[in-house]
Structure 1
Amino acid sequence: MNKLLISLAILIFGLAACSGDDHASQSSSGEGQKTKSVKLVLDWTPNTNHTGIYVAKEKGYFEEAGLNVEILMPGETGADQLVASGKADFGISAQEALTQARVQDIPIVSIGAVIQHNTSGFASPKEKKISSPKDFEGKTYGGWGAPVEKAVISSIMKKENADVNKVDIVNMGNTDFFTAVKRDVDFAWIYYGWTGVEAELRNQELNMLYLTDYSEKLDYYTPVLTTSERMIDNHADTVKAFMKAVSEGYQYSIDHPEEASEILIDAVPDLDPELVKASQKWLSPKYKDDASQWGIQKEEVWQNYADWMYNHDLLDKQLNAKDAFTNQFLPENKE
């Protein structure tokens, strides 16, 4: 979560320094067939949000689609900036970051929702006794310094007539959640599918306040797959091939969570196997959830969250939601 907003800030101020060249390139295979090499930048270190991508690579779905996909870490530059500048062809972002980017006229587009509903929220160890937003008063929140944090905390506290000014908001940067709540923080914003599941494995009881329990406008897409308008305009066939393979990868992860987790573990040996397997079991049903197919996005979800951001002074102008996302590259667009 924090990496996305940090990356957005870098994106807005650093985009002008980047080249606009596309990175998609063609090479010949040993059989004389043309394959296109493309770059995909993750939003964070590899985790189960990304399993479908690693499955698509390992199971040969990218190869079948005529693609050679290089998976990159975001580094300090950030996925959004690399995609917008043409330094990468595809990326992982989130609706909140892409919305702010679009309002700044940065030409990136969401081409698929990795998870259908927002699984993030405010977590705290049970002993902190934070069971509702009212309990935030007098407590310390550890965040990453983005305006959206205070706005979200304030909006859900108002539902209980609580005062956000009674919350001590500090910047904990990239400090590990479990370290932070032991040291000087009472609660933080997490994705349950990774940090929450890790807490279960640690036998650390959490109170979890999901954003979706307090406002349907906070049920936005996070994370999402992105590309640039340039790729859509000039390499639509590549985008379509990429999304076909990725869709197959996530569908496999939905149908075979245990096997999919093993693929991710083999691809990224530094990950904790127990955490990956438990996280994958929790997350696999949530990739598609109640949608007609994996990856589908709705305009009302984009509009609702953009309206919420605008009404909380997080956007300088209204978002044109129709231009921020597309379902056209999904293999079976049923909407």
Structure 2
Amino acid sequence: MKRILFTLILAAGLTWSGPARAEAPLTLMLDWFPNVDHLPVYVAQQRGYFSEQGVSVKILSPSDTADALKLAAAGKVDLAVSYEPQTVIAASRGIDVRVVGRLIEHPLTTLLFLKSAGFTAPADLNGRTIGYTVPGLMDVLMDAFARVNGIKDYQLVNVGFSIVPALSAGRVDAVMGPFKTYETVTMAAEGLEAGFFELERWGIPDYDELVFICGAQTLAGKKKQVKGFVQAVARGIDAVAASPDEALADYFKAVPDADRAVETAAFGLTRPYYASGQACDPVRWQAFADFALKHGLIEKPVAVAPLLPDLNAD
């Protein structure tokens, strides 16, 4: 009996390791409704990568396309998905944000239109009505794109999330902000052929399309958790590269209402653009900030070094 009792106690000791480690809660606000641009985040969540880093992540969608950065800067959410141009514009206005990781490392943004419109160069949009998606970003980016490419006498209209309806109904002739990897697919699903001008081919420097940002105070108070989040997302991106079909299946588990045909097609186009590493290149960021000043995206110069903290530094 003593031997049996000892064996039971030993077995219990091997299988019980004390109370479960509490996970620190983090909130992440997306830049848009959930889609395959965010797929590595959902993979990290589905596979427990966040939990292994000691964090739990609540993913939120914005009610307005400009919400994410503002709420992160104010500390209303811990993290947000934002854009390099939006971050540079915010910094020039004195908004104290930090870039802690990357999701998409090259531009996806286009000036999108119906191919039937017959536009062959940006200047063909002289005198036209042009929509934009994110106030304070895409309207400003459109103005810079227009200066570089000689578009004159155009009218800007905020279309928000309603990109395809605005184009198909003829309310606008083009929209600044749609992604070449996503809205082109949703248009095709509705029988519409997309035409677009890629920004990097028409005078806009290369930049990180989607980045993770937080407020300076959030980073100061939750650096360990933020670092854990970024490391988990990096594992999610690696998992996409290693097993894309399984990663896509994880995404559909997390977002069951997603249009499978559209999201699968968009995923195939998006995969090459997921970030190859989480560290931002300060030289490339500074080049974009200098371009932004020269072409009127910002009014005050931005030194990017304070925006790009080293999460491994003490």
Specify the TM-score bucket, using the shorter chain as the normaliser: 0.7 to 0.9
Root mean square deviation, CA, Å: 2.3
Letter of the 2:168 partner, please give it. K
Letter of the 1:245 partner, please give it. A
Alignment counterpart, residue 278 of structure 1, candidates 260, 265, 282: 265
SS at match of 2:274: helix
CA contact (8 A) 2:29 2:60 kept: yes
SS at match of 1:295: coil
Which residue of structure 1 lines up, in the alignment, with residue 57 of structure 2? 69
CA contact (8 A) 2:44 2:232 kept: yes
Distance 1:220 1:46 in 2: 22
Gapped regions of structure 2 (runs ≥ 5): 1-16
Instruction: After TM superposition, give the deviation of residue 172 of structure 1 in Å.
Output: 4.1
Distance 2:161 2:39 in 1: 24
Between Structure 1 and Structure 2, how many residues are aligned?
Answer: 291
Offset from partner CA, 1:170-213 (integer Å, 9 cap, x none):
31422632221222222112111110122334442222210010
- 1:124 paired to 2:107: no
Letter of the 1:154 partner, please give it. A
SS at match of 1:164: coil
Distance 2:310 2:241 in 1: 20
CA contact (8 A) 1:40 1:88 kept: yes
CA contact (8 A) 1:123 1:208 kept: yes
Distance 1:57 1:152 in 2: 38
Alignment counterpart, residue 156 of structure 2, candidates 167, 170, 187: 170
Instruction: After TM superposition, give the deviation of residue 278 of structure 1 in Å.
Output: 1.0
CA contact (8 A) 1:258 1:280 kept: no
Which residue of structure 1 lines up, in the alignment, with residue 291 of structure 2? 308
Letter of the 1:49 partner, please give it. D
Structure 1 residues 256, 316: CA separation in 2 closer, same or farther (over 3 Å shift)?
Answer: same
- 1:182 paired to 2:168: yes
Structure 1 residues 150, 53: CA separation in 2 closer, same or farther (over 3 Å shift)?
Answer: closer
Instruction: After TM superposition, give the deviation of residue 226 of structure 1 in Å.
Output: 1.0
Which residue of structure 2 lines up, in the alignment, with residue 142 of structure 1? 131
CA contact (8 A) 2:111 2:198 kept: yes
Alignment counterpart, residue 248 of structure 1, candidates 235, 239, 242: 235
Distance 2:91 2:141 in 1: 20
Distance 1:36 1:287 in 2: 26
SS at match of 1:34: coil
Gapped regions of structure 1 (runs ≥ 5): 1-28, 331-335
Which residue of structure 2 lines up, in the alignment, with residue 230 of structure 1? 217
Distance 2:142 2:270 in 1: 27
Letter of the 1:141 partner, please give it. I
Which residue of structure 2 lines up, in the alignment, with residue 211 of structure 1? 199
Structure 1 residues 172, 321: CA separation in 2 closer, same or farther (over 3 Å shift)?
Answer: closer
1:72-87 counterparts in 2 under 5 A?
72-76=60-64, 78-87=67-76
Distance 2:51 2:289 in 1: 37
Distance 1:138 1:42 in 2: 34
Percent of residue pairs bearing the same amino acid type: 25
Distance 2:219 2:115 in 1: 47
Offset from partner CA, 1:282-319 (integer Å, 9 cap, x none):
1112113xxxx333311122212212221233323111
* Structure 1 segments of 4+ aligned residues over 4 angstroms from their partners: 144-147
1:80-99 counterparts in 2 under 5 A?
80-99=69-88
Letter of the 1:118 partner, please give it. P
Offset from partner CA, 1:258-282 (integer Å, 9 cap, x none):
2222222221222211111111111
Letter of the 2:264 partner, please give it. K
Alignment counterpart, residue 278 of structure 2, candidates 295, 298, 302: 295
Instruction: After TM superposition, give the deviation of residue 30 of structure 1 in Å.
Output: 8.4
Which residue of structure 2 lines up, in the alignment, with residue 155 of structure 1? 147
Which residue of structure 2 lines up, in the alignment, with residue 41 of structure 1? 29
Distance 1:240 1:273 in 2: 32
Letter of the 2:291 partner, please give it. W
